[in-house]
A and B are shown apart, each in its own frame.
Chain A
């Protein structure tokens, strides 16, 4: 048992990380599904999309051979429509609401159709938006993630000059550094960012960290408004003995490594335990397995009924051969020469509902032991509390509080994960749109 990198051949890596949602084979295949769409009125799919994409319309436009129009319909509501078509948990959003479900029929593959139109737009670099002439106002955005990019695009369309400050060397936020590699490739993420900023009027300054390279005051002085789309940070501490040992890693960091540095370079154990059952936990578990871990076990303190991930995500983990232990909470990590050898878990049972409305896990007092050489922590992410406190921005445990997208600091707006604590890309995109609308109102009262 050992943690090591380079566990697989290059072919195995590319097999394991190939696109989990392949596109349509060709136009005919897309049309079969496009033509199935009933073109619902006040469509449940649209209502279930946080960005309210007019889904029946964009699908109809595929049927009518108006792919440009289709892509525009998508992007006008969701500038990351291409990425969302690959990463959205559609089973709980648009596709989950498709009326075909009520007939016990397969829903329209909305994401796949969305990919069909947006991919053509990106490949052909269709120019679907024109900027309004510059209106002489400048806005600084911190974070080139989905929230920041979405906000930037709306503002640029409206003739605002936007500068984005991004701490990483690449844009896209967690799209580029967090989301499972079998959903989006680094090349795609880069293309998507470039496509978004191709409208003009948006400059991204990379390797610029707020609080280090630039301060909020500086931004406030140089710009007419500031938008914070800084997301959330590393995974929550487990606060259990042994957490500091070699072999205990943070899921966000683990995934960041494999997204940023390439699969062969990422060390992974032979027997891996992943703590948590959210999207991040699933992604960490499946990707540990795909990197060559022999045994991966997801450990979750509640039952399947309370799990935060969707059934579809859980199925991916199961199909990847990950084991699942419900009603188990990490109690301690044991090791040998500072290297992890065991995870001790408390057996839990369900008690009364907690603040989230889900039944809370209660310790039974019994424990069991897993032999592992790696523990990945994915029990929620921690917001950038220090940073927001430093600038006296009102927050709740680091989550920025907003009123109509405005923070407590005048002229500073915020949205996305840094406000909601960590949802989906599509939520962040909508937050960016809302933020832009609020900024426009602020600039042109």
Chain B
């Protein structure tokens, strides 16, 4: 059995699965249920000056019958009294001393407010802070949340205030609502943050009710931009994570990865791109805390299969496989192959290639079943047919190199090699 425990800036947790700062971590009742279910840690719902929420608050995007492919909210930070939150945090830390207890903060935009809040939270025995520079709605209008995270100068200033007062590790949570997360990330690291986490939610409009013409979530006939998360945002989060992991400044601090993680596989992907721990919100909100059971077992089995003893054995392993396009090997060439024994003749590969790609699939008419085969000389190896094929391993991409040696685009141009002629 592999050791899946995590050590994040000295904060230990029995597994790398934390609950992100959000409704699942909003009070003692939930957090105790989460710890009982097996979660390695929680980031307590963001504390700051008390706010008031609206109704309704959530909306989602479904896909082809699947619910909540993407999730959206217009909730604010904790709307419970600060002293109750603090009391409950302390109780949870006592009851589950082996779990990570991080507290998310978003104080008013002045040094005193931050210092006061930090002091109060440290008294609970919590293990670390997460600075919420990411909330995309409600708080930004008051100069907080994403308003801080979108401006490296302000972010740097706030982190400096925090570092003056904090005696426990500080994680800064980045907003994705920027063209690049690196400038703010860099500013925060330079200001002394001990770690980074990302991503918070992405500003969105999830959809419009075609009868009322009001976007969702509907609050008495109006809506507001919300924060998008859930499986739909995972690819965006992974990309942003990579830019942080690859940057020489931000890549030096530990990262807690967030955004669309629902399974152990998602978690492993975030870890391969440099996350030491991962945080989950939407998947728990959709299914409850029990999903952590499979996350733990799946990670364990995968690590055993791969021969990894600790999570450090693979964290960051894929960071350097993402390179610049110019460095890709043009001589690497793959060609689709359709396994006729597996093919169910649905024609999806054909119509995708015929209408939108390179007309590389041949249709031999049959009633009722056509036969499809690849025109090897036409296939550019784009993967499209394989992606749309509904049958596992029916279409495979086989390597047929164009040349023995590695050849990148710059070299290709320098040698004056021929471009496509049709």
What residues of B have a CB within 8 angstroms of the CB of A32 in the complex? 65
Q: Could you give, for residues 382-403 of chain B, a 1 whenever the CB lies within 8 Å of some chain A CB and a 0 otherwise?
A: 0000000011000000000000
Q: Which of A42, A48, A103 contacts B344 (CB 8 A)?
A: A103
Q: Could you say which residues of chain A place their CB within 8 Å of the CB of B368? A: 44-45, 47-48, 97
Q: Which residues of B contact A42 (CB under 8 A)?
A: 347, 350-351, 363, 370
B345 within 8 Å of A (CB atoms): yes
Residues of B within 8 A of A24 (CB): none
Q: Which among B348, B350, B367, B370 is the interface contact of A38 at CB below 8 angstroms?
A: B348
Do residues A31 and B65 form an inter-chain contact, with CB atoms below 8 A?
yes
CA distance A100 to B369 in the complex (A): 12
Chain A residues contacting B347 (CB-CB under 8 Å) are 40-43
Taken together as a complex, chains A and B put the C-alpha atoms of A221 and B27 apart, in Å, by 88
In the complex, chain A residues whose CB is within 8 Å of the CB of B345: 40, 44, 99, 102
Interface assignment of A39: CB less than 8 Å from any CB of chain B: yes
Which residues of chain A come closer than 8 Å to B370, judged between CB atoms? 42
Cβ-defined contact, A103 with B65, below 8 A = no
B21-37 to A contact mask, C-beta < 8 Å, 1/0:
00000000000000000
Which residues of the other chain, B, contact A41 by a CB distance below 8 angstroms? 346-348, 350-351
- Where chain B touches its partner, the secondary structure class is loop
- Across the interface, A40 reaches (CB within 8 A) one of B65, B348, B367, namely B348
For B346, give its contact among A31, A48, A63, A99 (CB under 8 Å). A99
| A99 contact set on B, CB distance < 8 A | 344-346
**B64 interface residue, CB < 8 Å from A?**
yes
Interface of chain A: mostly helix, strand, loop or mixed: helix
A35 close to B (CB within 8 Å): yes
Are B346 and A40 neighbours in the complex by a CB distance under 8 Å?
yes
B359 to chain A, nearest CB (A): 14
* A180 → B minimal CB distance (Å): 27
CB closest residue in chain A, given B365: A42
What CA separation (Å) do A430 and B350 show in the bound complex?
Answer: 29
Q: How far is the CA of A100 from the CA of B346 in the complex (A)?
A: 9
**Measured CA separation A380–B369 after assembly (Å):** 32
Across the interface, name the chain A residue whose C-beta is closest to B351: A41
| A232 CB, min distance to chain B CBs, angstroms | 27
| Contact, CB under 8 Å: B64 / A35 | yes
| Cβ of A37 to closest chain B Cβ, rounded Å | 10
**Which chain A positions have C-beta within 8 A of B344?**
99-100, 102-103
A48 to B369, CA, bound (A): 10
Task: Give B368-387 as 1s and 0s: 1 = Cβ < 8 Å from A's Cβ atoms.
Answer: 11100000000000000000
Nearest chain B CB to A425 CB, angstrom units: 20
Task: Name 13 A/B residue pairs within 8 A (Cβ), A-sorted.
Answer: A34-B65, A38-B390, A40-B347, A41-B348, A42-B347, A42-B350, A42-B351, A42-B363, A43-B347, A44-B345, A44-B369, A45-B368, A102-B344
Q: A31-B65, A97-B368 are in contact. List 20 more A-B contacts (CB 8 A).
A: A35-B64, A38-B346, A38-B390, A39-B348, A40-B345, A40-B346, A40-B347, A40-B348, A41-B346, A41-B347, A42-B363, A43-B346, A43-B347, A44-B345, A44-B368, A45-B368, A48-B368, A63-B64, A63-B65, A103-B344
In order of increasing CB-CB distance, the 9 nearest A-B pairs are A41-B347, A35-B65, A44-B368, A41-B351, A99-B344, A47-B368, A40-B346, A102-B344, A97-B368
